[in-house]
Amino acid sequence: MFNVDKDCDTFLYRQVIDLINENINAGTLLPGDRLPSLRKMSRVSGVSIPTVRQAYVELERQRRVESRPKSGFFVRHRSGNDIVHPTQTAGAEPSRLVCRPLMERVYDGINNPDLVPLGIANPCMARPASKALHRTMKRVIARAEDRSLGYASTQGEPGLRRQITYHYLDTIGVQVEPDDICITNGGQEALLLALKAVAGPGDVIAVETPTYHGLLELIDGLGMLAVEVETCPEQGITLGELRRTLNEHDVRACMFSTTLGNPLGVTMAEENRRKLLQLIRKHDVVLIEDDVYGDLRFDGQRPVPAQFLGSGARVMTCGSFSKTAAPGYRIGWVVSDGQSTSDIARLKRAFSCSSGFLQQLTLAEFLSSGEYSRHLTVLRGVLRQNAERMRALVARHFPPETRTSRPVGGSVLWLELPEGVNACELFDDAVEAGISICPGQIFSPCPCYSNFIRLSFGHPWDDRTEQSLQWLGERVAQLKYAGAG
């Protein structure tokens, strides 16, 4: 694959450049892939190391590759895919959930283990920490013996709450009181408790658009109404639109992910988050921050949840280990705003008594041993590479009008398909072909996003992933022509 011809007139470093370019164009080397090291390239091509270096430096100058300190040279993104436009929400009215039957079908697809899992957002499966967690759990069982079968306290094990506070201190330099944390059954229960503590049936809750479908189901399930606020794939919530929504509607709470959202994978700039806090304070609205993805920014720069920006606004933060360690453990938490601490504990007791004791002890030890931090570093690197590969394959196989998000973290890509392509039809065809995807309609309470899909790159990358993306791109092209005809 990397042979040069020493008898040819072309300079050797030029031939190395051509070889790399050919491999990039053929898809043998994908964006995010590491080029062979200088030494290895020299050995396989028979060209000296300085000549290989000259070629790599020239490729970097041409912006085909980038060098990363102490890591080597990597293939850069293609600029093929345009970014999705924000969806305007002027005139949006509070609404119940319309797409419930579709949601049921999508969950059937997501939970089917025989399908290629491009539908489920399960980032930690890109690089599971199973061995370390199993080892830790065994140690915990040996030590706790019968105690490990018992109930945990309602608010959660003090050791785990303490470790969560250390994690905040370590990653964002913020001191959180363990007593303000309540351990929950995953992020979903954290969102439920926070919402129940501040709102009731008939209340209006502002959400980003598009937003996480589980949030919409929760709001609807509690008899509340969701009103959408325009969210830009590169900036996050559009503050002017939020202001308009708060002026026009009697919003009780906002449920946003300002640190890292699903499905757009966007982080709001800190300056804008501060402005958002001023707005919600002025309107006396509570912010419930869904921060379950906050630790998964590719660059490791953990954004500070809005609650800790010191604004005087009422904010609660919902976290989880589902995206980073083990969704099956069902361990999340809510950091209450002081005013709601006892309400949250009371609601937790009423709904589920407490969360799994053994899982809490295991995670506490996983964090305290430093293994969690090391695991996160590796996981973020894998997710970043998967994101780059997926964007490159979408650029290669999907029709050129396709637009994609540019996630700065997490595990999903949001795609705007050519107009006229129906995401539900694509979803049904994909399931038949053995692939699960998420149609865009479930990310809004109203019938919207009919030509959008969400694809997950949170799984080990393999040939099936690549073949599925090619299949999806070709099917989208057929649906586009069928729609036009």
Ligand X SMILES: Cc1ncc(COP(=O)(O)O)c(C=O)c1O
Q: Please give the residue ranges that form the binding site for ligand X (CB under 6 A).
A: 121, 186-188, 212, 214, 257, 262, 290, 292, 320, 322, 327, 332
Nearer to ligand X, 302 or 480 (CB): 302
Q: Which residue in 80, 23, 126, 96 sits closest to 456, CA to CA?
A: 126
> From the CB of 77, what's the least distance to ligand X, in Å?
25
> From the CB of 323, what's the least distance to ligand X, in Å?
7
Nearer to ligand X, 359 or 465 (CB): 359
Nearer to ligand X, 156 or 186 (CB): 186
Query: Shortest Cβ contact with ligand X: which residue?
Result: 186
Nearer to ligand X, 291 or 416 (CB): 291
> From the CB of 322, what's the least distance to ligand X, in Å?
3
- 143 CB-side CA count, 13 A: 10
Nearer to ligand X, 87 or 259 (CB): 259
> From the CB of 145, what's the least distance to ligand X, in Å?
28
Q: Which residue in 204, 388, 356, 210 sits closest to 285, CA to CA?
A: 204
> From the CB of 470, what's the least distance to ligand X, in Å?
27
Nearer to ligand X, 32 or 332 (CB): 332
Distance between CA atoms of 308 and 173, rounded to whole angstroms? 10
> From the CB of 127, what's the least distance to ligand X, in Å?
18
Distance between CA atoms of 155 and 340, rounded to whole angstroms? 13
Instruction: Say if CB 285 and CB 316 are below 8 A apart.
Output: no
Q: What DSSP letter does each residue of 2-40 carry, written as one string?
A: ----TTSSS-HHHHHHHHHHHHHHTTSS-TTPBPPPHHH
Cα dihedral across residues 320, 322, 326, 330: positive or negative: positive
Distance between CA atoms of 365 and 142, rounded to whole angstroms? 13
Distance between CA atoms of 268 and 275, rounded to whole angstroms? 11
Nearer to ligand X, 236 or 332 (CB): 332
Nearer to ligand X, 136 or 456 (CB): 456
> From the CB of 46, what's the least distance to ligand X, in Å?
50
For residue 170, give Cα distances in angstroms to 20, 116, 269, 308, 367: 41, 37, 21, 14, 11
Could you tell me the strand order of the sheet in which 82-83 lies? Answer: 82-83, 403-404, 412-416, 452-456, 438-439
Nearer to ligand X, 194 or 199 (CB): 194
> From the CB of 151, what's the least distance to ligand X, in Å?
21
Q: Is 74 helix (H, G, I), strand (E, B) or coil?
A: strand
3-class SS string, 80-128: CCEECCCCCCCCCCCECCCCHHHHHHHHHHHCCCCCEECCCCCHHHHCC
> From the CB of 474, what's the least distance to ligand X, in Å?
29
**Residue 29 neighbours by CB under 8 Å, 6+ apart:** 20, 23, 35, 75
> From the CB of 190, what's the least distance to ligand X, in Å?
8
Q: What are phi and psi of 67, to 5 degrees?
A: -95, 140
Nearer to ligand X, 292 or 383 (CB): 292
